[in-house]
Structure 1
């Protein structure tokens, strides 16, 4: 079966008041003690699958879980073992009659099923209650406890909202008042993922990158937009969780920015395809993007520009900079306003999806009109790029990025070779404009800090000289791209 739920982290200071909202005297309570299994090289974790044995009160349950098509849905299969005199052992043969689970385990484990071993355990007290909103039943659970290995443990204090029946959209909207009142923040990581990090003594998983979106040519434009937003959220939410926890690495922040840029591009370019988008979304996303951008700019100067400067004889080899504080970046995805924004975007991806998908529309014709406009705007100044102002050049760079993201969103509907050829030419334009932009930012950074660090004047002059060459290269790349035949 498919389980639909949202998971949030809860500040310790709000635990008591949220517990009161569940009316603890009449709410149901149960102790859940689970043991999770995997191979030594974590084949299950790497494929977003979990196997556990859990004692629920005095009954044992063996459970298979796997990632669904988005972060709201999970595939789940439970085998109820009942009361057992002795603690049961993991038994994969119990899934023999469940073809979905059996096939998935064989695909992931292959010949390594005998290598499954206990890895970590969780021990939580769950307080839960069912809330009825019109035709939708939602179970709200407070899980308070620990995840542990043989030699270390970590606190668990989280809230789950699980759809028991009714509308997924209603589930998402229902959580917003709880978010505002109890300062919950959205965390798409499962207990299994948290436990696996603890067991492997890591603070983070690798940053999540964009995945390919597969559209159907008979989808409506409205439905296609919702799928684009869902795809970009799949990219953003795992990275946002690590940022919110304060353990993100530079790549998590970079990928979060890319995901936000993809969201903004979808709303800006394709937003008119739906009557139910909200103009405030783009402004809120732009604010988040800007704060995360401070870190990205310094990282780009340190990782890309500084080595070139040192190689060319710069009288310094390190940067002295004031970056956006970790706390400020962390708060972006902890504050209720931003969490509600993410929930609104999630709700948008679910609204009336079943009805919309079956409308007969000419999606590719709509796409052609949109891409034609974008393509023409990008090459408009191909022949006089060198005469443009700095701001106009930056706008050209943004147009190139939006065009690339737009093409990637709809690429499944067109011939792969034609898409690849077009994107290769567009990527060359984007690389030239990106390098130019990085050098312009570097120039501004070094000039701003030159009063305290006079040695930075070397970098200011160096950056200006490099920009002149890149302006010429960018103009040539744009002129070459203007000759490319659109694939649509």
Structure 2
């Protein structure tokens, strides 16, 4: 029995249940070419070795047909270009043949495999032509089941059967004009694994894993996709739960993404600035609510807390409106097309090793921090805030590029450098909270109350500046892990 290696290129769109039915019944799609019920069982070892190494193993039954599929996930989280191996199966027992990538990678692990979760999907399929491309449209409504936990999902998958990947986005825009959609970054298998894990209120940045063999262009795309994925995961959690943690991590994701656009600016085309400006608009939209969340953590129960909470609710309502806007949805589609179809890669230096680019970029960021943070006591709050932004950019750059310098010396130096950066960001963050606290309270007309005064004058500013300067000097004294 021989497995067949395939390549899958698709764009996933998340959609509400009502809007899924609306588009499925619309004249735009017409009558579906096929309707199927899919029952999928996902397997892994008890310690989830497959998932941790970027593989999934699924046995799917559709009518009389049962197929086992092994997928190796790619670096793309929204436009999938990943390898898969399909093998006919007779039962819900995994099949291993000599050509299985799992056998080659993990050895004989059949006895270690156990059922992790199941997915039941009702799928409707259309075959469309967009320009010169052939695209399969699948409207999926289903449920993921893991033990006593369940989670529904509704999504549209656009799979390129032949032609130009840009036509996936052209079709996605036509769908988005009829019903609102958001780019999906979770596969069905990932939904299952997340359901197995403890429920979280926020998604932190994931390891990117740059390798020296990559070009600078490839490195940028990996970094940008990781940042976008972090944002979308937190956007979903934010809209579901309205939790301060997901709001904070959504802003972190945007800051990381804008830092990447700034870092790689010499290699990118003119659209990079437009996207950076648009993501800044989105970050600013989230900013007021985040500032209120910070103050609420410090405020005691009482009249001030109630006023801050009322302001917070209004701020979160504006966030929901912005995230649902045509502007936000268009930004996500435009950015991903630019990124995933390679339109950003215009400079010849983008084909050079990412390791060389990284070292120069880190030198540039460090020099900028040194210039702007030379004497924090002699500059005003606005310029200290600029130094804080320089520090964040340097730290994000260090996190992005650290895997490229992972020899023994590099790891030791990075550990010391990162520890110094964390201390600096804590000190500058405390200064920033002190600076913006008064402005936020004034914005909502509550800065004169006794409780408010206690809230914003809880620290010695001079002492905070001295500690921040010491922390900044420690960063500059730390040995460069990239040299």
TM over 0.5: yes
Offset of residue 21 of structure 1:
4.4
- The residue that corresponds to 2:221 in the other structure is 226
Report whether the alignment pairs 1:78 with 2:86. yes
The DSSP-based 3-state class of the residue aligned with 2:269 is coil
Counterpart position of 1:299: 293
Q: Distance in 2 between matches of 1:70 and 1:157?
A: 20
Is structure 2 residue 9 aligned with structure 1 residue 10? no
Alignment partner, residue 101 of structure 2: 100
Displacement, 1:315? 9.2
Aligned residue runs from structure 1 range 105-116, under 5 A:
112-113=112-113, 115-116=114-115
- Aligned pair partner of 2:238 in 225, 240, 243: 243
1:60 aligns with one of 58, 62, 66: 66
Change (3 A) 1:104 1:166: farther
Alignment partners' CA distance in 2, 1:438 and 1:335: 30
Alignment gaps of 5+ in structure 2: 1-5
Report what 1:131 is aligned to.
Answer: 129
Q: Which residue is 1:460 aligned to?
A: 456
CA deviation after TM superposition for structure 1 residue 391, in Å: 0.8
Secondary structure at the aligned position of 1:70 is classed as coil
1:331/1:198 CA distance change after superposition, 3 Å: farther
Deviates more, 1:27-36 or 1:322-331: 322-331
- Indicate the residue corresponding to 1:89 in structure 2: 91
Q: Distance in 2 between matches of 1:70 and 1:52?
A: 20
CA contact (8 A) 2:136 2:161 kept: yes
Are residue 30 (structure 1) and residue 28 (structure 2) matched?
no
What's the CA shift string for 1:158-207, capped at 9, x where partnerless?
A: 2111122344444345423322332111222233444566688x766862
Structure 1 alignment gaps of length 5 or more: 82-87
Normalising by structure 1, what TM-score?
A: 0.79
Question: In the alignment, does 2:171 pair up with 1:181?
Answer: no
- Tell me the residue number matched to 2:319: 329
Equivalent position of 2:120 in the other structure: 122
Distance 1:407 1:156, change over 3 A: closer
Q: Is the 8 A contact 2:447 2:453 kept in 1?
A: no
TM (normalized to structure 2)? 0.80
Aligned 8 A contact 1:32 1:56 in 2: yes
Residues 36, 366 of structure 1: CA spacing in aligned structure 2 closer, same or farther, 3 A cutoff? closer
Q: Once the two structures are superposed, what CA deviation does each residue of 1:221-264 show, in whole Å capped at 9, x if it has no partner?
A: 444433332332243333233335x2364333322211110111
Is 1:253 paired with 2:253?
Answer: no
For residues 258-407 of structure 1, what are the structure 2 equivalents within 5 Å?
Answer: 258-275=252-269, 277-303=271-297, 305=298, 320-321=308-309, 322-324=311-313, 326-352=316-342, 361=352, 366-367=357-358, 369-407=360-398
What secondary structure does 2:98 align onto? coil
Q: 1:31 to 1:382 in 2, by over 3 A?
A: closer
Distance 1:437 1:419, change over 3 A: same
TM-superposition CA deviations, 1:116-149 (whole Å, max 9, x none): 37x4441404132132533x43211222455568
Distance 1:98 1:376, change over 3 A: same
Residue 85 (structure 1) aligns with: none
CA distance in 1, matches of 2:115, 2:430: 48
Aligned-pair distance for 1:152? 8.4
Structure 1 residues 176 and 452, CA gap change in structure 2 (3 angstroms): same
Larger deviation, residues 183-192 vs 209-218: 209-218
2:409 paired with 1:411: no
SS at match of 1:124: strand
Contact 1:225 1:271 (C-alpha < 8 Å) held by counterparts: no
Aligned residues: 464
User: Hey, what's the Cα distance between the residues in 1 that align with 2:403 and 2:149?
Assistant: 46
2:312 match: secondary structure: coil
1: distance between equivalents of 2:147 and 2:404?
A: 50
CA contact (8 A) 1:45 1:193 kept: no
Q: In 2 relative to 1, CA 199–442 (structure 1 residues): closer, same or farther, beyond 3 Å? A: same
CA distances 1:33-83 after superposition (whole Å, capped 9, x unpaired)? 3142457978489647654443324423333445332213244333334xx
SS in 2 for 1:275: coil
CA spacing shift, 1:460–1:204, aligned 2, 3 Å: closer
SS at match of 1:20: coil
Q: 1:301-360 deviations in whole A, cap 9, x for unaligned?
A: 444x45xxx7xxx99996642215555434544444323322333233333499999976
Residue pairs, 1:149-188, within 5 angstroms: 156-188=153-185
Q: How far 1:434 sits from its partner (Å)?
A: 1.2
